[in-house]
Amino acid sequence: MTIPLFDSHSDTVHMACAAGKPLRENDMHLDLVRSAAFSPRGQVFSIWGNPKTDPPMFAPVMAYFERELSENSDLIVLCRSAEDIRSAQAAGKCAAIVSIEGAEQIECSIERLREAHERGVSVIHICWNHDNALTGSATEGQGGLTEAGRRFVEEVFALGMIPDLSHISERAFWEILDMSDRPVLAGHSDAASVCAHPRNLTDDQFRALARRGGVAGLNLSPRFLGRGQDVEAVVDHAEHFLSLGGEKAVGLGTDLDGVTQLPDGLHGIEDFGVIYEAMLRRNWSEELVHDIFFHNLNNFFMNAL
């Protein structure tokens, strides 16, 4: 049986660009050949950088990705709409969606945001791990949106882009939900009730996300998992979200190539069947596991785009 897969967060494109490695086949957590074992397939690729130490990375990484898309058009297609996603998957290709992880990568600029959207970016994190000119972050402070941040988020919604709230402060999370009734994403965040990491979602946040038609992607970083930091811990987080009524609101947001360590038993995307089997061992239906692995995020992007 072929397992379907939609993953709402990986840093593979950025890290492959930095290392001078191809996307088709490499020794990283993810490459296009290994990921082709899953079908239908969708993947959000993020472009990020540490704003404390690095210059904005959007332009060089996007240029790298555009070259890789052209050279590997037999396996992957950039998608900006629901029709793009349908077409890519019908052709047996990975439906690729581009995310900017931290508005610092486009200088926190509305003009740069519009340019990024024109080049195919569909998802935007308002900040990364640090407070910036737009908002407070989850890990550095709990400040809300600044006036510039509100204007920036208004433009995000006006362009039809999707805000990813995984890195944002809790105060700003609620402020953004108050600004629009459109579905939003927490692309790589686990459950704070299972592991009290500031990047994880509280029960109230997850319930609000689910009511809005949003999805939380399960992050494989052991720091966010707690407990045994293994595959069973990943399933524990999923189980907690399900207990909150999240059958249609939990997916995979693995952070492949954005973490230095994966849970025990996982080495890369080729091992995701281990997570699939662990979920089935909880006596969950195959329909529910398919929803977590694919349908919830696929439906989210089909609606949001």
Q: What is the pLDDT of residues 111-159, one digit of tens each?
A: 999 999 999 999 999 999 999 999 999 999 779 999 999 999 999 999 9
| Cis amide leading into 222 (omega within 30) | no
The pLDDT assigned to 207 comes to 98
**In this predicted structure, what is the pLDDT of residue 227?**
82
User: What is the C-alpha separation between 298 and 305, in angstroms, rounded?
Assistant: 11
The CA distance from 87 to 293, in Å, is 20
Write out pLDDT tens, residues 160-197.
999 999 999 999 999 999 999 999 999 999 999 999 99
* Cα–Cα distance, 141 to 39 (Å, whole number): 40
